[in-house]
Amino acid sequence: MDEHYQAGTKGLKYAAKKGLGIVVMEPIRGGLLARDLADISEIWKKADVQRPPAEWALRWVWNHPEVTVVLSEMSAPEQVRQNVDVAKNGLPNSLTKAELTLFKNVKKELEKRIVIPCTGCKYCMPCPHGVSIPECFEYYNRGHMYEDEEQTRRIYLAFLGGVLDGNPRYASLCEECGECEEKCPQSLPIRNNLKNVAEYFGK
């Protein structure tokens, strides 16, 4: 889901060519990819080898020969054992073409759930009232994509709450001045979308 985020796959390959070890964090997206979502489960059932969602996520990362270490949050000894087993079997280039096709289909299905088609270009920024518009939309979309309103709300509140710098960046800070909409190349109804975000996550 994040192969084009930040340095992404391009950065992964570049760093590996320079002989750097690669550490991948959040391979299961904070547990969101471990959720048993109905439509997604139907896609995975087409695989010759059946695996739980979390294992599919880890196997995708380990399939890249450039990856040195994968850091995955674990909250129980059983999860440690499971992750060690996946690491033993999740060798570089071990996924079949058919399995890689399933990954693409899963990604397409998740992307269908995106509610606000924000590209994260940040042309709308800075907001004169301090709203982090692209991030608000990102978390809102994430909650809908993975059907996890509760966990996404915690992340939203933690990352946009101003804990680190004392500057909250919530959607509810929007004063509806409309400056952002004048700059948006997608012509998104940003003010209405921010209202929806604020209602979804609370003030």
| pLDDT tens string 113-140 | 999 999 899 999 999 999 999 999 999 9
Rounded to an integer, what distance in angstroms lies between the CA atom of residue 3 and that of residue 10? Answer: 8
Task: Identify the CATH class of 8-111.
Answer: alpha beta
Output the pLDDT for position 128.
96
Output the pLDDT for position 34.
87
- In DSSP terms, which residues pair with 69 in a beta bridge? 23
> Residue 148 is encoded by which pair of tokens?
């996890």
140 near 196, Cβ under 8 Å?
yes
Comparing 13-22, 43-52, 84-93, the range with the smallest average pLDDT is 84-93
130 near 167, Cβ under 8 Å?
yes
134 near 120, Cβ under 8 Å?
yes
Q: What are phi and psi of 10, to 5 degrees?
A: -60, -45
Output the pLDDT for position 44.
94
Tell me the domain boundaries of the chain. 8-111, 133-201
Output the pLDDT for position 32.
85
Confidence of residue 203 (pLDDT cuts 50, 70, 90): low
pLDDT digits (tens, 9 = 90+) for 137-172: 999 999 999 998 888 999 899 999 877 778 899 999
